[in-house]
Structure 1
Amino acid sequence: MRVPTWIRQHVAALRALLVLTAVTGVLYPLAVFGVARLPGLRDQADGSLVSAHGRTVGSTSIGQSFTDADGNPLRQYFQSRPSAAGDGYDPTATSASNLGPEDVVDTLPDPALTAAGEDDDNARRSLLTQVCARSRAVGELEGVDGARPFCTTGGVGAVLAVFGTRAPDGTVPHPTRVVSVNEQRGAVAAPFLREYRGVRVELAVHGADYARGLVVPVRGAAPADPAVPADAVTASGSGLDPDISPAYAALQVPRVARERGVPAARVRALVADATSGRSLGFMGEPRVNVLKLNLALDARYPYRGRP
């Protein structure tokens, strides 16, 4: 007796389902689990968790903040780089800011809300202003010059909107109006630049449309090689980078040593011990794991508070 075609097709589909279920649903997961149990891989598979004093304090693979309840840096610890993951280092919201280098113009807050002590949800800081503000904050924390090219001394992007007839090359050789678009009237006393090509620079007004003006970032007199390293002012692609550059670690050594009351040379030695080289000798850059470094600090030179 010949079995109908539709029955044979269903039986073949059932066999394929059983085989694929066994391979992808049982054998493959067991194989992956077995490989993850191999020496040298077990720690990474378990999340690279780190314990201290009998409790889990973090992971060497996922960064975290070392701040107080108000978000202020704990001065006795090395600080991580900025994070765009959620409210900062949220492993459930890993992400980047997705802002590019041409994002230089802020959306200013409503001064009425600011005066009332409220946040304006429509306001937005450009990537440039975020970098400028972070550089200024790090400079103040570490006691160095936080100036960067294209930043004002107030910590916002030094950007002008230049109005006037445009030349064939896209420039405005004879401006009729110039506005410092990231400095808001009422928030600062005067623009970062008094005049631009003979035209007085105005402060920006909330709600005004400056889109027709030519956007002109102004480099300023800041050094080409800022004292604050790039990783101190930019977030990683994942927002969860556990490492900082040796340069950023070195910048923080004097503060940490001073807060803990130990010679800076001893703290530098801990930084050197926590520094990893390039992967396989040629990939990436040298890096310092912040959690490991701070745990080593607590173990060797416990923080006893300010005198």
Structure 2
Amino acid sequence: MLALLRPALVLTVLFTLVTGLAYPLAITGLAQGLMPHQANGSLVTKGDRVVGSELIGQAFTGPRYIHGRPSATSAADPADATKTVDAPYNAASSSGSNLGPSSKALLEAMQARAAALGMAQAPADLVTASASGLDPHISPAAAMVQVARVASARGVAPARVEALVQRHVEGRNLGVLGEPRVNVLALNLALDADLP
């Protein structure tokens, strides 16, 4: 019996050391050496203070800011742990709404979001949550429909806000993958810096 257990125990210890210790340390070291910004969460700083991540959206709600996609994430209800409450952009609880295109609840939510924006029809990414609920980007069209509101709230000409939006449009990855997009956090930081 010991002859059968010994190889099993040796292999368990060996693979635990290789896959549980050596491999993670090697990958962490490579990531820190080759791409430390990404390995540390793609954090965005303002001065010496971390204000967010390039990869996780934030809930901007004021009229002076470009608003991101709705977020379907939730968190435990502080009053009753068996229930959840809306917690926009909660990275600890990434999830989509799981509502299908024929869902009445989805249609009602989209109509309510469009009405809140003051639009009969709005770009899809302003009225639907992303699959993760954390998407930091919106389409250039979704940013452009907000230009008038932001310009009015900041007391500047819409052309100045529009120019800032145009400067923050990111192209397709490798020139062919994905769609052009705008990082909402980067744009809102630029708005505060250029048009306070």
TM value normalised by structure 1 = 0.58
| Total equivalences in the alignment | 184
Q: Is 1:25–2:20 an aligned residue pair?
A: yes
Residue 299 of structure 1 aligns with an amino acid whose one-letter code is: A
* Structure (1 or 2) with the greater helix fraction: 2
Q: Is 1:251–2:145 an aligned residue pair?
A: yes
Cross-structure match for 1:93: 93
Residue 11 of structure 2 aligns with an amino acid whose one-letter code is: A
- Structure 1 residue 263: Cα displacement: 2.2
Cross-structure match for 2:115: 136
Q: 1:55 aligns with which of 36, 42, 49?
A: 49
Q: 1:92 to 1:299 in 2, by over 3 A?
A: same
Percent identity (aligned): 52
SS in 1 for 2:33: coil
- Structure 1 residue 248: Cα displacement: 0.6
- Structure 1 residue 17: Cα displacement: 1.5
1:226-241 correspondence to structure 2 within 5 Å: 226=121, 228-241=122-135
Deviations along 1:163-204, one digit per CA (max 9) or x if unpaired, are: xxxxxxxxxxxxxxxxxxxxxxxxxxxxxxxxxxxxxxxxxx
Cross-structure match for 1:45: 39
- Aligned equivalents of 1:53, 1:20: Cα separation in 2: 44
Deviations along 1:91-119, one digit per CA (max 9) or x if unpaired, are: 11111111111212xxxxxxxxxxxxxxx
SS in 1 for 2:58: coil
- Structure 1 residue 85: Cα displacement: 0.7
Cα RMSD, aligned residues only:
1.3
Residue 261 of structure 1 aligns with an amino acid whose one-letter code is: G
Residue 150 of structure 2 aligns with an amino acid whose one-letter code is: V
Residue 67 of structure 2 aligns with an amino acid whose one-letter code is: Q
SS in 2 for 1:20: helix
- Structure 1 residue 30: Cα displacement: 1.1
1:1-307 correspondence to structure 2 within 5 Å: 6-39=1-34, 41-66=35-60, 73-86=61-74, 87=86, 88-104=88-104, 126-138=105-117, 140=118, 146-147=119-120, 226=121, 228-302=122-196
Deviations along 1:17-72, one digit per CA (max 9) or x if unpaired, are: 22102211221111210221133x21122111111132211111000101xxxxxx
Q: Give the gaps of 5 or more residues in structure 2.
A: 75-85
Deviations along 1:189-229, one digit per CA (max 9) or x if unpaired, are: xxxxxxxxxxxxxxxxxxxxxxxxxxxxxxxxxxxxx4x11
- Aligned equivalents of 1:17, 1:47: Cα separation in 2: 32
